[in-house]
C-alpha cells in the first residue's frame, strides 16, 4: 500500500543510475479537496545534475490507482535502462 503526502509536486523517491549520471524521480501530484480530488504519479528520468523534474523528462504519468507499490518496482537494469512496473487502470 502506498501512502502519499498530499502536496503538489512532491518527490516521493529518487533512484540513481548505477554510474550516477541519471536519476529517476517519482513525483506525486495530489489535491483538489473533497469536490474535485485528483492524484497523479509521474516518473521523470533526467541527468542527475538536474535539481527538479521538468516536463521534457517525463517517461510515465498515470492516476495513482495505476501504480502498485512503485517504491519497489523501479529498478535500473543498466546505466541507461530503467524498469518500472504499473498495473492496468481499474477504470473501464
Residue pair 3/10 in contact by the 8 Å Cβ criterion: no
Residue pair 25/10 in contact by the 8 Å Cβ criterion: no
pTM for this prediction: 0.71
pLDDT in tens, 29-57: 877 777 778 888 888 899 999 988 888 99
| Alpha carbons 28 and 3: distance in angstroms, whole number | 10
The helix/strand/coil state of 41 is strand
| Alpha carbons 18 and 56: distance in angstroms, whole number | 22
| Alpha carbons 20 and 3: distance in angstroms, whole number | 28
Share of the chain above pLDDT 70, in %: 70
* pLDDT score of 51: 86
Give the pairing type, strands 22-31 and 75-78: unpaired
Residue 5 has pLDDT above 60, yes or no: no
Amino acid at each position: 500500500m502506498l501512502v502519499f503526502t498530499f502536496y503538489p509536486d512532491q518527490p516521493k523517491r529518487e533512484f540513481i543510475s548505477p554510474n550516477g549520471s541519471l536519476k529517476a524521480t517519482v513525483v506525486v501530484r495530489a489535491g483538489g479537496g473533497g469536490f474535485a480530488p485528483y492524484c497523479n504519479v509521474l516518473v521523470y528520468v533526467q541527468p542527475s545534475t538536474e535539481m527538479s523534474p521538468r516536463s521534457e523528462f517525463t517517461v510515465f504519468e498515470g492516476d495513482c490507482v495505476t501504480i502498485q507499490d512503485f517504491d519497489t518496482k523501479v529498478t535500473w537494469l543498466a546505466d541507461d535502462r530503467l524498469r518500472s512496473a504499473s498495473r492496468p487502470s481499474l477504470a473501464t
